[in-house]
Amino acid sequence: MHPILLLVAQRLALGLLLIFAASILIFAGTSILPGDVAQSILGQSATPQALANLRAELGMDQPPVTRYFNWLGGVLQGDLGTALTNGRDIAESLSSRLGNTLFLAFWAAIIAVPLAIALGLIAVRYKDRWPDKVISAVTLTTISIPEFMIGYLLIFFLSIQLPQLIMSLEFLSDGVRGWLLANLRFSSVAMMNDSMSLVEKIKSITLPIMVLTLVVLAHMMRMTRAAILNVMQSAYIETAELKGLGMLRIIRTHAFPNAIAPIVNVVMLNLAYLVVGVVVIEVVFAYPGMGQYLVDHVSKRDVPVVQACGLIFATVYIGLNLVADIVSILTNPRLRHPK
C-alpha cells in the first residue's frame, strides 16, 4: 500500500477510536454527577413510587454499561434522545442551533484566517522592525485577555459609548448623525431568526465575530510567523537571496509553500476552537447557538442534552484535527514521492 494511503487510514482509524473514547468519557462524566436526576425533575415532594417509575422510564434502573450502549446505539442511528425538561427531540432542537454556531464560526474564520496569514507574512517581512513589534504586541495583548472580557469591553465602547459620542458631536447635521447611528450601532445582543436577511444576520453578530477574530487571530499569526521564520533559515532560502531575489518573492514563492503544513495545523486547531469554544461568547451575547443551549440545560441538569452537545463538540474537534493531520500528510513531498 502507498505510504500516504496507509497513514491516512491509520489517522482515520485513530480518529474513530478517539471519538469512541470521548463518548465513554462524556457518558461516564455525566453519570457520576452527584444528585438524582429523577428527584431534580419531580421535585422534593415526589413520592418514592413516582421516583421509581421515572427512573424506570429514563432507564436509570439499568446497569451503566447497558445504558451506555443503548445511548451509543441511538446516536449511531441519529437518535440523540429526548430532553428531560421539555420532552422535545434533541436532534431537532440542535439542528437550528448547530447551524447558528457554524454560521458564526464561518464568518469569524473568513475574516480571521486570511488576516492572520497576511499579518504573519508582514511580520516576517519586517522582522525585528516596528511593524513586526506592533503586530506582535497587539496580538499578544489580545491573546492574554479572556474572551468574555473582550466581549464586555466591546459592548461598553461600541454599543454604549460610541452612540453617546456621536450624539454629543454638535457640529454634525441631523442627517449625518442619523446615518452614523444607523450604520455604526452595534447590538449587544446577537439575535438570529429565519426572517432576517443575510446582511441583517451579519450585522447582528458583528460584535461576536470581532471577539472571536481577536481571540484566534493572535495564535494563528504568531504560529504563521514562527513557521515561516523556521523555513527562512534553510539553505535554499540563502541560495535564493544570493541570486538577488526580493524578500517578498522569496517569502511568497519559497518560504510560504514549505510552511503550509504547520500553518494548516494551527488554522484547523483554531477553527475547532471557533466551533467548540464559542460557549462563552454565545452566553455573553445571548446568541442562540449550541453553546447557549448547552449552558441552559446544564443549569437544568438535563443530562441527555449535555451528553449530546458534548459528543457533537468532541466529534467536531477531533474531526478538524483529523483534517489537519491528513492535510499535513498530503503536503509532505517525502510521502508523495517516496523513493
Domain membership flag for residue 13? yes
Tell me, what's the pLDDT at 96? 81
DSSP state of 160: I
Q: Which domain holds residue 88?
A: 3-34+80-336
Domain membership flag for residue 60? no
Angle at 209 between CA 205 and CA 212, to 5 degrees: 140
Quick one: residue 78, left, alpha or beta (phi over 0 = left, psi -120 to 50 = alpha)? left
Q: Which three cell numbers stand for residue 136?
A: 506582535
Rounded (10°) CA dihedral 248, 253, 257, 262: -20
Domain membership flag for residue 74? no
Q: How far apart are CA 90 and CA 320, in angstroms?
A: 24
Domain membership flag for residue 235? yes
3-state secondary structure of 192: coil
Q: Helices (H) and strands (E) in the chain — how many of each?
A: 19, 0
Q: How far apart are CA 194 and CA 198, in angstroms?
A: 10
Domain membership flag for residue 64? no
182: amino acid identity, one letter: A
Domain membership flag for residue 50? no
Tell me, what's the pLDDT at 39? 62
Residue pLDDT tens, the chain, 339 long: 667 788 888 888 999 999 999 999 998 888 776 666 666 666 666 777 776 776 676 667 678 888 888 888 888 888 888 887 777 888 888 888 888 888 888 898 899 888 988 888 888 888 888 888 899 888 888 888 888 898 899 888 888 888 888 888 777 777 877 777 777 778 888 888 778 888 888 888 889 999 988 888 888 888 888 888 888 877 777 787 778 777 777 877 777 777 777 777 788 778 888 877 788 888 889 888 888 888 888 877 788 888 888 899 899 889 888 888 887 777 766 666 655
Q: How far apart are CA 136 and CA 143, in angstroms?
A: 11
Please name which of 49, 102, 107 lies closest in space to residue 320, comparing C-alpha atoms: 102
The domain total for the chain is: 1
- Cα 117 versus chain centre, distance: 18
pTM listed for this prediction: 0.81
Q: Specify whether the CB–CB gap between 164 and 181 falls below 8 A.
A: no
Q: Which three cell numbers stand for residue 314?
A: 468532541
Domain membership flag for residue 27? yes
Q: How far apart are CA 238 and CA 235, in angstroms?
A: 5
DSSP state string for 274-295? HHHTTHHHHHHTT--SHHHHHH
Tell me, what's the pLDDT at 253? 77
Tell me, what's the pLDDT at 120? 87
Q: What is the CATH number of the domain that holds 227?
A: 1.10.3720.10
Domain membership flag for residue 112? yes
